[in-house]
Amino acid sequence: MKLSKFKFVLPPELIAMHPAHYRDESRMMVIHRNTGKIEHREFKNLIEYFDAGDVFVMNNTRVFPARLYGNKEKTGAKIEVFLLRELNEKMRLWDVLVDPARKIRIGNKLYFGPDESLVAEVIDNTTSRGRTLRFLYDGPHEEFKKLLYSLGETPLPKYITRPVEPEDAERYQTIYATEEGAVVAPAAGLHFSRELMRRLEIKDCSFAYLTVHSGLGNYREIDVEDLSKHKIDSEQIMINAEVVATVNSAIDANHRVCAVGTSVMRALETAVSTDRHLKEYDGWTNKFIFAPYDFSVANAMITNFHMPLSTLLMMVAAFGGHELIMDSYQVAIKEKYKFCAYGDAMLII
Q: Return per-residue pLDDT of the chain as tens, 349 residues.
A: 899 999 999 999 999 999 999 999 999 999 999 999 999 999 999 999 999 999 999 999 999 999 999 999 888 899 999 999 899 999 999 999 888 877 788 899 999 998 888 999 998 866 555 688 999 998 999 999 999 999 999 999 999 999 999 999 999 999 999 999 999 999 999 999 999 999 999 999 999 999 999 888 777 789 899 999 998 888 999 999 999 999 999 999 999 999 999 999 999 999 999 999 999 999 999 999 999 999 999 999 999 999 999 999 999 999 999 999 999 999 999 999 999 999 999 999 9
Report the DSSP beta bridge partners of residue 31: 38, 348
Q: Provide DSSP, 93-162.
A: EEEEEEESGGG--TT-EEEESTT--EEEEEEES--SSSEEEEEE--S-HHHHHHHHHHH-B----TT--S
Helix pair 311-320, 322-334: axis angle to 10 deg = 110
* Structure confidence at residue 271 (pLDDT): 97
Do 216 and 16 contact (CB within 8 A), yes or no? no
Q: Provide DSSP, 8-57.
A: ----GGGB-SS--SSGGGSEEEEE-TTT--EEEEEGGGGGGG--TT-EEE
* Structure confidence at residue 98 (pLDDT): 87
* Structure confidence at residue 214 (pLDDT): 86
Query: How far is Cα 210 from Cα 182, in angstroms, rounded to an integer?
Result: 13
* Structure confidence at residue 127 (pLDDT): 55
Q: Give the CA radius of gyration of the chain.
A: 21
* Structure confidence at residue 185 (pLDDT): 95
Rounded alpha-carbon distances, angstroms, from residue 114 to 12, 76, 134, 293: 35, 13, 20, 51
Q: How many helices (H) and strands (E) does the chain have?
A: 7, 17
AA letter at 123: I
* Structure confidence at residue 251 (pLDDT): 97
Do 347 and 42 contact (CB within 8 A), yes or no? no
CB within 8 Å of 20: residues ≥ 6 apart: 26, 191, 342, 344
Do 43 and 25 contact (CB within 8 A), yes or no? yes
